[in-house]
A and B are shown apart, each in its own frame.
Chain A
Amino acid sequence: MKTRDLIVAAFRGLGRHRLHAGLNVIGVLAGAASVVLLIGVTHAIGKVSKTEAAGLGSNLVVVYPAGVSASGVQVGLGTASTLSSDDVRALGDPGQVPDAVAAVPTAGIRSNVSASQRMWQTDVLGSTESFASVRGYALSEGRFFNGAEAPSGASVVVLGRAVVDALLSGDPVGQLVRINNHPFKVIGVFASRGFSGSYNQDDLAVMPMQTLWADVLPRTEPRIDQVFVEATSPAATTLVKSQVTNTLLQRHHITNPALADFQVRTQHDLVASAERVGTVMQWMLAVVAAIALLTGGIGIMSLMLGSVSERTYEIGIRRAVGASRGNILAQFLLESLLLACLGGLTGIAVGIGVSSFMSQVVTDLPAPVVTVAAVVVAAAFAVVIGVAAGIHPAMRAARLQPVEAVRRL
């Protein structure tokens, strides 16, 4: 029997139960689509979190108070920070942390900033005069606040480019903006840095820490969300990490490091945890895809088994006019393979479609990247499922005795 005739026979077989076949194909379709999507998303997330961690600056060590997760998200809202201004001062003291250049605290809140009739939501941060140099922000206009303004609680603010573009026209320096109903004088604008991954580094407003506590967060206790400690060189970060840890343990009177009420992270740590996130995503991908593909495979298998018993008569006729066991096996195996490939191909198309749709609609999340590898993996899965689901029904069909099949009661 020629291959072309075999394919024709398989297609004719599929045509017999189109609706049923279509329903069962959906499982494989979903499986293949999720393989494509999730490989794409994992790829994107891995890339983004790495670039975000890398954008931090390679010679920085970050200290988080207890109650703040490693990603900087406040967990226990309203609880006082375990880090104090005196801690920050100690971390900036060369006598206690010899390999540090400076230590900068930050606290922040997502808040509305308004000017004349316009309003914009941004990250409002409080910090000290060393913020710009430690975090690597240059100024395109005006200046950053100085050591005299910082502790006095002056009502001054330095804006990122995105905030200026959203709110102000003309020369921004000297204009007033309102935050939490307090007027602030714009004294400088950061030079644009663009995106780091999905994070817009130009969307922020920075003011003295005392001012933030007094005017923007008057109802909560003064708190510090993070302390950035600048090491003398990238190579010194590990050393700084242990110096910082020892200093804070001593200051907080903690003897067991496992009970520390703070966390210290280098850039290296952050990249590693980003990679861990990637690995977890990959496992989730594997589980979701496996469940979908398994469901699809079982669906196809039951469809094919039903089809074989429904078509006993047809099998008998084919056997009587000269089909061998091998011919029948091949016909049914090919039918199941076709079903799975149909599901696989539409699934891949759906996956690609959803990916491109997501990258257009969702702009502040990493958009999945469709890779050739993802498509190949999804297609390979579909083929394997098709063969695995088809082999048992096809063998049952091939084992039918021609007489049993032709005998009609």
Chain B
Amino acid sequence: MIHLDGVSKVYQTPTTSITALDRVGLRIRQGDFLAIAGPSGSGKSTLLNLLGCLDRPTSGILTITGVDTATLTDQQRSRLRNRSIGFVFQMFNLIPELTVIENVELPLVYAGMRRGRRERAQDALARVGMLRQYDQRAGRLSGGEQQRTAIARALINEPELILADEPTGSIDAESAEQVLGILADLHSHGRTVVLVTHNASVAAVARRSLRLVAGRLEQEAITPLPVPQRRRRAEAYRAHPVADPAV
């Protein structure tokens, strides 16, 4: 599904140039669940932003579903982000002035959808247990609630690819469990998930795991959770969805 071939990203600052990614080669198949670990500043976010068409590589080729992204216009890239990719960031990235449901509806707005937006947003919110607070300003939510709202927004357009950049980095352990459970559930429904994290135990929920060091990709040393254990985690989430009195 995604092909990286010798992809580099160099940031030019007035004084120096920083090579954030150094000739990275990577294949991500449909339905994969990939964790990317690595120390701070190793280029994890940079890589994820390239995968999500938020940024362009300095050199190298990035193809998504067979299309070389360098050939896409801004409009095509925007459409790709809108229809095929769902983002979850460490810092939640909700528009604080909008309500929870307005934030979740945003991808549908840019998809040009008119009818049935509310209903779909409500469904997505119910899946992450946030329906009860649908009318609250996003800026007033707790960290865990904001992250679950961001996940609802990421999956509302039923994208094939979910990109999560340290989704558990700013929330408490219990919320982190919920968020990882939701990601595992999405994977079990056939979505491709790429998860960036510092944390080895977080990386363990993924099917395979890679490590970035100073912009270079290495095979991860730690072994992922065995498959049955991963499955159990996802099933646990399905059996006990996050408590939501409105559902």
Contact = CB atoms under 8 A, between A and B. Distances in A.
B49 interface: yes
B209 to A, nearest CB: 24
Nearest to B75: A324
A348 to B, nearest CB: 31
Interface string A297-340: 00000000000000001101111111111110000000000000
Nearest to B49: A403
B106 A318 contact: yes
A316 B112 CA distance: 19
Contacts of A4: 114
A403 B105 CA distance: 21
A20 interface: no
A317 B82 CA distance: 11
Contacts of B109: 1-2, 5, 9
Q: Which of A320, A327, A406 has the most CB of B within 10 A?
A: A320
B2 interface: no
A323 B93 CA distance: 15
Contacts of A408: 91
A16 interface: yes
A9 B106 CA distance: 10
B95 A320 contact: no
A325 B75 CA distance: 7
Nearest to A326: B75
Interface in A123-163: none
A251 interface: no
Interface residues of B, number: 28
A65 to B, nearest CB: 74
A406 B89 contact: yes
B115 to A, nearest CB: 11
B55 A321 contact: no
| Residue among A4, A318, A401, A402 with most chain B CB within 10 A | A402
Given A319-B78, A322-B82, A406-B54, A1 B112 contact: yes
Contact of A325 (B74, B81, B106): B74
Nearest to A407: B45
A401 B91 contact: no
A176 B52 CA distance: 101
A321 B81 contact: yes
A12 interface: yes
A9 B157 CA distance: 20
A396 to B, nearest CB: 15
A322 B97 contact: no
B225 interface: no
Contacts of B89: 406
Contacts of A314: 95
B83 interface: yes
B127 to A, nearest CB: 17
B107 interface: yes
Nearest to B117: A5
A1 B110 contact: yes
Contacts of B93: 313, 316-317, 320, 406
Contact of A324 (B55, B74, B98): B74
Interface in B112-159: 112, 114, 153, 157
A324 B83 CA distance: 13
Nearest to B79: A322
Contact of A321 (B49, B74, B75, B106): B106
Interface in B38-81: 49, 52, 54-55, 74-75, 78-79, 81
> What 4 pairs between A and B have smallest CB-CB spacing?
A322-B82, A322-B110, A324-B78, A403-B55
Given A1-B110, A16-B97, 19 more contacts: A1-B112, A2-B114, A9-B109, A12-B97, A318-B95, A320-B54, A320-B87, A320-B93, A321-B107, A322-B78, A322-B106, A322-B111, A323-B110, A324-B79, A325-B74, A325-B75, A403-B49, A403-B54, A408-B91
28 contacts: A1-B109, A1-B110, A2-B114, A5-B109, A9-B109, A313-B93, A318-B106, A318-B110, A320-B52, A320-B81, A320-B93, A321-B82, A321-B87, A322-B78, A322-B82, A322-B83, A322-B111, A322-B157, A323-B78, A324-B74, A324-B75, A324-B78, A324-B79, A402-B55, A402-B81, A403-B49, A406-B54, A408-B91
